[in-house]
Structure 1
Amino acid sequence: MAGPITSGGTRLDTPTAAPGYGGTLTLLATLFFMWGFITVINNTLLPHLRSVFDLTYTQTELIEWVWFIAYFFASIPSAKLIERIGYKRSIVTGLIIMAVGAVMMVPAARIPSYGVVLTALFVIASGITLLQVAANPYVAVIGPAESSSSRLNLVQAFNSLGTMLAPLFGGYLILGRSTSGTAAAGAVLTPAERLADAQSVQLPYLIVAAVLVGLAIIIARFRLPDMNASTRGRAREERRGHSLWRHRNLVFGVPAIFIYLIAEIGVSSLFINFASLPEIGRVTHEQASHYLVLQWGGMMVGRFLGFFIMRRVPAERVLAAFSMAALAVVLMATFSTGHIALWALISVGLFHSIMFPTIFTLGIRGLGPLTEEGSGLLIMAIAGGALVIAQGKLADLYGLQTSFLLTAACELYVLFYALWGCRVKEEGAVAP
């Protein structure tokens, strides 16, 4: 067993400290892929359910609200579960919880019931929360501290690979097999067509459930290194006398994650409806899902680029540059029309790419023995995605295109964090 390593001041007496941690990192990348894939299926599910249940934009974004509010309620219980049963068992548990939620979509589609759909999605998101609480800080401390942002961007790139493939999966198996997905924008469905469309989600979610169970079995048999009990006990002793609130990078980092998620989820969840507008792309929902692939593909490319760029350029400088570019293209999408607006919104994915992993690693920088608590707060802040319902309300009141001014405001806060909020005060840093 290798000796202790330090990343942000957190020490792990675990084999992950050894140079050969590639197998563990590969397995973690698979988890990032799966939860990215499942999360973005929602982007094709939203316009589908909007037609099936005849929802307003506000009611449609309630789906995202339920999904991301799970992070708020499940983060602390997830952290306690990890402390009690360890990383490996917690990851397996999270995958099983996700599989149960996916199976729940079958009766939700058969009834059909909007309430049961929301419940099933909350269960899936709770399982993903458990995976997030375990995997994000684990990747950050699995190797040298100076490359933590680069490393997290690498595994997040595989998350983006999942998000890029999900619209193809959902577009073919949900939108492509439904009347609402292949009809022109604004088409009115008959009750029989609504019922048939509702049931089209059964097959994709059964496939997802089977894959999750298979992955849980693989991980249960994999020798995943874990923090041992003595390490956790020593960390608890080291935390005494230190305060999270002395760390400006965390204090401003938690709202940075919260606000960034409003921007990311707002763009992705409303993209298909945006692209389908007559003045923008004039395409069906199924065709718009193909453009959504490009948006998530841009995020994947950006994260692979971030992995290499941040080996040479400070992470905060990269974050500032990407946030300024994101602000520019969001404003272009808001105030222009046609293909200019469409491609501007597609390009947002590229500039959003490095934001979450970079904010996360900047937020826990210098926390030392407080890293676990800081990580928990940052994961809980993913609940910010729930406030995308506010953009749905703005779209109902002022128009879908105008609602992206909220996204622009979010980009401004990320820029503030990159330029000033992420700085670590020397007197506030905790020595490892």
Structure 2
Amino acid sequence: MEHISQPSTLPSRTAHADAGNNTGPLVIVTILFFMWGLLTALNDVLIPHLKALYTLTYVQAMMVQFCFFGAYAIVSLPAGVLIKKLGYQNGAVAGLVIAAAGCALFYPASQSGYGLFLLGFFVLAAGITILQVAANPYVTVLGAPQTASSRLSLTQAFNSLGTTIAPTLGGILILSGAALGATELAQLPEAQQVAYRAAQAASVQKPYLALAGALLLLAVLFFFARLPAIDHDDGSAPHLESGAARSVLTHPHLLMGAIGIFLYVGGEVSIGSFLINFIGEPNIAALSAADAAHYVSYYWGGAMIGRFIGFAVMRYVSPGKALAFNAAVSIALVLVAIFGHGQAAMWAILAVGLCNSIMFPTIFSMALYRLGRFTGQASGILCMAIVGGAVVPFIQGAVADTVGLQWSFVIPALCYAFILYFGLRFAGLYLDGEQA
């Protein structure tokens, strides 16, 4: 999930070691990108699992994403203060330990209730947020400056690999048991219902304890890794040519870009969150949760493939036009999913993942265009806009409870409509060196 790998202000001074000495640390950092992609996409498996387990409404089930992505809004600023105090390397270690604690909370949650699961999601996301703020800059310093973009592409690819593998892996480890419907469960004696719920809840224990152990191991490796020091020169960025602005939000492309990030992340996460339930609908594919989970990997895998296609196409097409095209196609695909049925509706919604591929980095870079010394502040605003992943699924959940799951996909369609407008509004960006 590319929006999870937030761009960072590039270090202005650092002592680069030779490539051979950087191989080990780069491998560790790349694994970090893979892990937070994996952990984020596993939510798409846990949401339908917890919904069935605790007989939740869609709004209640979407509290998972509300707590998870809400951590970005709450923890981002404190994370920056923590990193400033501890340093980037120790900050990354702290993020890994906190994320491990979040995973470990799933064990007592499985023996307690839904509320403790939500706390676990928040703690896990808080650790990931700190980890991102600390770890992203290392991609730029682990080698020569001129190859920094290629290293970032590599780590982003592994982040996408994590999001692609997670649904299938989660389906095997968590959803593999035979799940009973609400009607079937109600027909069982009360004692058997209690035993069934306990067994279903326990299915998350081993996978998340294993993830906690893996995160702690990475924390140890990161603590002992010999990483170059990072030093930022806050005064090196150029001033805006239009003069000093009192607020970065006076720049329309940034303000609209922040709204675009909010809606894009919200739309992408919302679709992923409802996919298993959508594919399980009788008029779509009527698949079990375990079988549907495999198809969610196509959604996230499409984003990974589309990134490579976008890299080639956007060398010749302006970012705004490419963004508008992908948004328009996404709207068309979502409408097919809303009004269609069967395989056509299923594959249409899965294909939206392919269109998502370029959206986050394109909106992000367009929003930061020629902001000069305000770039760092603007980047923080855009990263906080990721909280859309908490809000939009919650809204779609309310619509799904009211008018039905299939019609609720009008919410992400509206998100893509704004992104289409943003792309067209700034379609000339980068072409003439001026804002459109």
Matching residue within 316, 321, 328 for 2:320 = 316
Matching residue within 184, 200, 203 for 1:200 = 203
Q: Which amino acid aligns with 1:303?
A: R
User: 1:426 Cα shift?
Assistant: 7.1
Give the structure 1 partner of residue 305 of structure 2.
301
Counterparts of 2:348 and 2:71, CA distance in 1: 31
Q: What percentage of residue pairs aligned between the two structures are identical?
A: 41
User: 1:73 Cα shift?
Assistant: 0.3
Give the structure 1 partner of residue 189 of structure 2.
none
Aligned residue runs from structure 1 range 90-109, under 5 A? 90-109=91-110
Counterparts of 2:319 and 2:238, CA distance in 1: 31
User: 1:36 Cα shift?
Assistant: 1.0
State the Cα deviation string for residues 345-367 of structure 1 (Å, max 9, x = none): 11111111221222222222323
Counterparts of 2:8 and 2:227, CA distance in 1: 22
Give the structure 1 partner of residue 338 of structure 2.
334
Give the structure 2 partner of residue 133 of structure 1.
133
Give the structure 1 partner of residue 4 of structure 2.
none
Give the structure 2 partner of residue 53 of structure 1.
54
Give the structure 1 partner of residue 253 of structure 2.
249
What secondary structure does 1:252 align onto?
A: helix
Counterparts of 1:324 and 1:384, CA distance in 2: 20
Contact persistence 1:153–1:357 (CA under 8 A): no
Aligned residue runs from structure 1 range 17-416, under 5 A? 23=23, 27-110=28-111, 112-135=112-135, 154-176=154-176, 178-180=177-179, 183=180, 187-188=184-185, 190-228=193-231, 231-232=233-234, 234=235, 241-242=244-245, 243-387=247-391, 388-416=393-421
Q: Which amino acid aligns with 1:420?
A: R
- Name the CA shift for 1:57/1:79 in 2 (closer, same or farther; >3 Å): same
TM-score (normalised: structure 1): 0.86
- Name the CA shift for 1:238/1:317 in 2 (closer, same or farther; >3 Å): closer
Count of aligned residue pairs for this structure pair: 416
Counterparts of 1:8 and 1:214, CA distance in 2: 25
Moved more, 348-357 or 214-223: 214-223
Counterparts of 2:133 and 2:183, CA distance in 1: 41
Contact persistence 1:33–1:160 (CA under 8 A): yes
Contact persistence 1:8–1:364 (CA under 8 A): no
Contact persistence 1:9–1:366 (CA under 8 A): no
Contact persistence 1:280–1:339 (CA under 8 A): yes
Structure 1: stretches of 5+ with no match in the other structure? 1-6
User: 1:40 Cα shift?
Assistant: 1.0
What secondary structure does 2:285 align onto?
A: coil
Contact persistence 1:133–1:379 (CA under 8 A): no
State the Cα deviation string for residues 341-391 of structure 1 (Å, max 9, x = none): 000011111111221222222222323332222221111111111111110
- Name the CA shift for 1:172/1:8 in 2 (closer, same or farther; >3 Å): closer
Counterparts of 1:45 and 1:162, CA distance in 2: 16
TM-score (normalised: structure 2): 0.86
Contact persistence 2:304–2:354 (CA under 8 A): yes
Counterparts of 1:170 and 1:419, CA distance in 2: 39
Moved more, 378-387 or 21-30: 21-30
User: 1:141 Cα shift?
Assistant: 9.2
Counterparts of 1:291 and 1:361, CA distance in 2: 31
Counterparts of 1:275 and 1:186, CA distance in 2: 20
Moved more, 238-247 or 42-51: 238-247
Q: Which amino acid aligns with 1:379?
A: C
- Name the CA shift for 1:409/1:325 in 2 (closer, same or farther; >3 Å): same
User: 1:254 Cα shift?
Assistant: 1.1
> Considering only aligned residues, what root-mean-square deviation do their CA atoms show, in Å?
3.2
Contact persistence 1:332–1:341 (CA under 8 A): yes
Contact persistence 2:139–2:148 (CA under 8 A): no
- Name the CA shift for 1:261/1:304 in 2 (closer, same or farther; >3 Å): same
User: 1:319 Cα shift?
Assistant: 1.9
Counterparts of 1:349 and 1:8, CA distance in 2: 25
- Name the CA shift for 1:225/1:316 in 2 (closer, same or farther; >3 Å): farther
Contact persistence 2:101–2:124 (CA under 8 A): yes
- Name the CA shift for 1:312/1:8 in 2 (closer, same or farther; >3 Å): farther
Counterparts of 1:269 and 1:199, CA distance in 2: 21
User: 1:144 Cα shift?
Assistant: 7.1
What secondary structure does 1:188 align onto?
A: helix
What secondary structure does 1:400 align onto?
A: coil
